[in-house]
A and B are shown apart, each in its own frame.
Chain A
């Protein structure tokens, strides 16, 4: 079966610009996660969707980050405006239910 797809793989922007990332989860997976992974650290959950509803967005910086999952399938994560400290790898993962996540390859964002 196809894995979790993410695009783009790499993005370089200047601070204060906007950027958007796209994720297509494994078919049939109800739960979708966005994580931020700063170099040398473990993934930090930004937002968790169950179908098209938000389960947890407590660590999402809502003044600049937004995410949506229309129709309960693919999802976009947006940053507007970006700051230097947003430089990280943004990982998308999906899960069919209880336990086990499947991760995409990630998008590496560099903010200059």
Chain B
């Protein structure tokens, strides 16, 4: 089955700097790669996603890039702000007979220091 590895496990940046979180996946058939943000004590919420027919997607300060050949994808946050502090999870979809199952990475704790 699919396996997703996420690095780093913790990341501290100064406010205004950029943050990059990287994930690798094992199943070349996976075709959907979402990123979720989880604030302390809250539920995970989707912040951006990318499908396998696209190499890059951007939404304001957040961007995701996908390299299908190398089987890795990355989250880029520019001009970080204290409210970006949270746990970020990447995931990859595992194709099933019906629909898709998401396999999550272990998460990255992002701390933005002001």
Partners in one complex: no
**Taking beta carbons and an 8 Å cutoff, which residues of A are in contact with B?**
none
**Taking beta carbons and an 8 Å cutoff, which residues of B are in contact with A?**
none
